[in-house]
Structure 1
Amino acid sequence: MRMHNPPHPGEVLKEWFAEVSITTAASKLGITRAHLSRILNGHAGISAEMALRLAACLNTSPESWLQMQMNYDLWQAEQRPLPPIERLAA
């Protein structure tokens, strides 16, 4: 069973960078301030490359960041109705 309304990974990331400016954090990650800001504000997701950067910078696992992103994306998708879907014949 999936978590109810999981947070965007950017919300979790804000806690990691609470004591650091966005400019400093972006510099340490090797990305632009604008890109980090989009992630922190939930306007961009965590890619596999970003997960690797975060893991290296924060001493975490890349899988944890990708899992958070997947949980968020899947929950968001489940909130929208799907068009009619037909099963393939077995």
Structure 2
Amino acid sequence: MSLMFNPPHPGEVLKEDVIPSLGLTQAQAADQLGVSRSAFTRVLNGHAAISPELAVRLGEWLGTSAEVWANSQTQYDLWKAKKALKANRIRVVRYRSAVGGKERKAAKAASGQGRKREQHEPEHDCAVA
């Protein structure tokens, strides 16, 4: 999944595009989805995330998959997290093994992982018919 630049909150997509195209009010949409109006309004205004349960409900309601809504929320969340890291100038150091190159080779050799296995001749002949 590639990240979009400044993706919209999925609630914004619902509020600006989906609900108006269906000719519904926000209250009617919440009722049809079986969720409280206040919780749905928080999602529509970008103050709450689309939960996995709501993603399933949206998928059923709109004839899409739950993954569309869950992935949209994940993409938005990842974008926000990356933006926050940059804004706070937090530097993440890439993980490197505590064992260096020479030590790693020595450990492999000692454990036998670094050697090729010897091939042995079968102890007795097997006749192939």
- Scaled by the length of structure 2, the TM-score of the pair is 0.64
Corresponding residue number in structure 2 for 1:47 = 51
CA-CA distance at 1:87 after TM superposition: 2.0
CA-CA distance at 1:6 after TM superposition: 0.4
- More RCO (CA 8 Å, sep 6+): 1
1:20-35 correspondence runs (5 A)? 20-35=24-39
CA RMSD after TM alignment: 1.6
Report how many aligned residue pairs link the two structures.
90
Given candidates 83, 89, 95, the residue that maps to 1:87 is: 95
Matches of 2:81 and 2:72 in 1, distance apart?
14
CA-CA distance at 1:31 after TM superposition: 0.6
Amino-acid identity (%): 44
Matches of 2:73 and 2:49 in 1, distance apart?
7
Matches of 1:85 and 1:51 in 2, distance apart?
34
Given candidates 57, 60, 63, the residue that maps to 1:56 is: 60
Q: Specify the code of the residue in structure 1 equivalent to 2:33.
A: L
User: Does residue 76 of structure 1 match 2:80?
Assistant: yes
Q: Deviations over 1:6-61 (max 9, x none)?
A: 00001111111112111111111111110110000000111111000001111111
CA-CA distance at 1:80 after TM superposition: 1.4
Q: List alignment gaps of at least 5 residues for structure 2.
A: 99-129
Helix, strand or coil for the counterpart of 1:23? Answer: helix
